[in-house]
Amino acid sequence: MFETRRSPGPTVRIAFDGAPLDVAPGQSVAAALLTAGVGATRRTPDSGASRGPYCMIGVCFDCLVVIDGQANRQACMVTVRDGMRVESQAGAPDIAP
Amino acid sequence: MTAAYDIAVIGAGPAGMAAAATADGLGLATVLIDEQAAPGGQIYRNIEGAPLADRAVLGADYEAGAALAAALRGSGVDYLDTTTVWRVTPENEIGVTRAGAARLISAKHIVIATGALERPMPLPGWTLPGVMTAGAAQVMLKSAAAVAPGAVFAGCGPLLYLIVGQYLRAGAPIAALIDTTPRTNIWRAAPLLPRALAAGNYLAKGLAMMRDIRRAGVRVIRGVDGLAALGEGHLRAVGYSRGGRRATIETEHLFLHQGIVANVNLAMAAGCAHHWDARQLGWRPACDGWGRSSVDGVSIAGDGAGIGGAQVAELDGRLAALDAACRLGRIEVAERDRRAAPLHAARRRDLRIRPFLEALYRPADDQRVPLADDVIVCRCEDVTAGDIRAALALGCPGPNQLKAFTRCGMGPCQGRLCGPTVTELIAAERGVPVADVGYYRLRPPVKPVTLGELAGTAPSSDAPGGA
């Protein structure tokens, strides 16, 4: 479990799979989820294995999640925003209409 | 074609920040494009706003990035943050996406400064949530002021020791540091030591890092094999063998690191020629002393041109900008050479440490190419070392054909995480040099771009139909 060493400050509220999380602003979705105790953020399309953020620099694509309805977003490259809806990505994502 | 900019720099790490600020200082119309929300790259990530209550945790070298970021902010550079580059065209146009809108940016000269990524360390269970790179642990520290007490760090290389030191200064206890540096490396590194001593204070800094780790009483475990991440659905423990005995350490976090390799995807997709560096164990672009690649009008600076570290990257960036200014007729050759002379000298001095470090921290063969067939090599498509060996046994000739056989390298990371392993694995199985195996043929887009974004791409203003 990641622990924060930052001074207490304001937070923004995001939702992960429907559950509200109050997280520090200015950080990536992946960092916010990890500090909130979320380890697994998707299942692979092939084997269905659980995966979570791995590289945190935008190269491994293991942290793909659905953000505000858009699938395949790199959680480590998107900054949290108040009201953001984040969902874990299960298997192959549906093609948006 | 009239380009919108004289020079476009891609990547805002030390090389990119230095290149952009130098180009601006020479009077070139300059744009700096970067995927992050703030300048710094990975080494100076969040340099303007690291949220740690005590920044000293990150060390003095980190603070060197502040001057680069300040110079950038104080310049006339058009700095585009949170902007993803997905291609560089043969016409020197750069395809970018920002806030869901794509467009093309044209420039007379392009400097690619996309840095490095951590070399993959494929071992059983390395895809489990809870297993991350040591660099990822550092990103958590720099960008979220977060640490994982009780973590295990495993691998080798200076960056691993640096991050362990940062954890210790942050007051985060470490369950163990499993040092996988092969014991025999020291004998290959020793003859390179005299040259390394001429590289300034790198060795002193390294020794201080090791001393801090020793004094803190960190449990350092050497001479292991059979390193594995254990758990179902999430990491539960790290396993290894030592002296013929199997042992496990319970932990929720394992941070892996065994050096860094150039992030070559954009440069390769732009058509720049690359070659295998057998000492760095990675692909790097063919560049001249100014960073000019095999593609006219495209230079490559920093670790993306081969691993040299942050100080060399900064010098690379300045040299590439001076050379671009000369090529564009802004300064004479004599002035370029006069200004560059001290930069070249400093660069040569800094690079003297590299052969020593490359030999001393050369990762073990079996940590780069897994011996066990059930280890996943391609994380995106769940392709194992055994799947690849089976394809090779069926006659698959190389990395590109391997895609058709197994889908290896065809996932969203586009081979970034499996490429180095795949080429070395094929070379080992075939008994041929890695250079003969080659690499994935990379094509744009090098980052995902949606159909909607592409459809809405505005052509660069001066290039009708250029999209």
Chain A residue closest to B150 (CA)? A1
Q: Which residue is listed with tokens 């806030």?
A: B99
Banded pLDDT at B379 (limits 50, 70, 90): very high
Banded pLDDT at B466 (limits 50, 70, 90): very low
The phi and psi torsions of B314 (rounded to 5 degrees) equal -60, -45
Q: What is the pLDDT of residue B456?
A: 79
Domains of chain A: 12-89 (3.10.20.440)
Q: Which range is least confidently modeled, B22-36, B195-209, B287-301, B426-440?
A: B195-209
Classify burial at B35, counting beta carbons within 10 Å of its beta carbon; exposed 0-12, middle 13-18, buried 19 or more: buried
- Mean pLDDT computed over B92-111: 94
Mutate to test the interface with B, among A11, A12, A28, A34 (most CBs of B within 10 A): A34
- Mean pLDDT computed over B84-92: 94
Partner residue opposite A55 with nearest CB, options B54, B133, B171 = B133
CA torsion, ordered B186, B188, B189, B192, to nearest 10 deg: 150
Chain A residue closest to B406 (CA)? A46
3-state secondary structure of A58: coil
- Mean pLDDT computed over B286-306: 98
Token reading at B284: 């790097």
**Chain A contact for B417 (CB, 8 A cutoff):** yes
Q: Is the pLDDT of residue B462 over 90?
A: no
| Contacts B448 to A, Cβ<8 Å | 72
Mean pLDDT, all residues of chain B: 95
Mutate to test the interface with A, among B417, B421, B451 (most CBs of A within 10 A): B417
Token reading at B179: 């040092």
Banded pLDDT at B416 (limits 50, 70, 90): very high
Higher pLDDT, B449 or B117: B117
**Per the CB < 8 Å rule, is B117 touching A57?**
yes
Q: Which range is least confidently modeled, B42-51, B267-276, B367-376?
A: B42-51
- Mean pLDDT computed over B222-238: 96
- Mean pLDDT computed over B225-243: 96
Q: What is the pLDDT of residue B283?
A: 97
| Contacts A57 to B, Cβ<8 Å | 42, 117, 135-136, 139
Parts of chain A with a pLDDT under 70: 93-97
Q: On the CB side of B336, how many CA atoms lie within 13 Å of its CA?
A: 19
Q: What is the pLDDT of residue B412?
A: 93
Q: How distant is the Cα of A23 from the closest Cα of chain B, in angstroms?
A: 10
Contact at 8 Å (CB) between B424 and B364?
Answer: no
- Mean pLDDT computed over B29-33: 98
Q: Is the pLDDT of residue B143 over 60?
A: yes
Q: Is the pLDDT of residue B453 over 60?
A: yes
- Mean pLDDT computed over B82-108: 94
Residue type, B235: L
Task: Count residue pairs from A and B with Cβ separation < 8 A.
Answer: 131
**Per the CB < 8 Å rule, is B417 touching A49?**
no
**Chain A contact for B148 (CB, 8 A cutoff):** yes
Token reading at B235: 């990491």
- Mean pLDDT computed over B177-184: 96
Contact at 8 Å (CB) between A34 and B143?
Answer: no
Percent of the residues in chain B that have a pLDDT greater than 70, as a whole number: 97
Residue type, B114: T
Q: How distant is the Cα of B198 from the closest Cα of chain A, in angstroms?
A: 33
Q: What is the pLDDT of residue B2?
A: 60
Mutate to test the interface with A, among B380, B406, B416, B451 (most CBs of A within 10 A): B380
Q: What is the ipTM of this complex?
A: 0.96
Contact at 8 Å (CB) between B115 and A24?
Answer: no
**Per the CB < 8 Å rule, is B129 touching A39?**
yes
Contact at 8 Å (CB) between B36 and B82?
Answer: yes
Tell me which residues of chain A, numbers 23 to 82, contact chain B at a CB-CB cutoff of 8 Å.
24, 26-28, 31-32, 34-35, 39-41, 44, 46-47, 49-62, 64, 72, 76-77, 79
Q: Which residue is listed with tokens 């902010």?
A: B73
Q: How many CB atoms lie within 10 A of CB B1?
A: 13
Banded pLDDT at B464 (limits 50, 70, 90): very low
Residue type, B272: C
Higher pLDDT, B366 or B202: B366
Q: What is the pLDDT of residue B100?
A: 87
| Pairing outcome for strands A85-90 and A70-74 | unpaired
**Per the CB < 8 Å rule, is B128 touching A28?**
no
Q: Which residue is listed with tokens 């895609």?
A: B403
Q: CB-based contacts of B103: which residues, under 8 Å, 6+ apart?
A: B95, B96, B457, B458, B460
Q: What is the pLDDT of residue A46?
A: 83
| Contacts B145 to A, Cβ<8 Å | 4-6
- Taking the C-alpha atoms of residue B40 and residue B64, their distance in angstroms, rounded to an integer, is 10
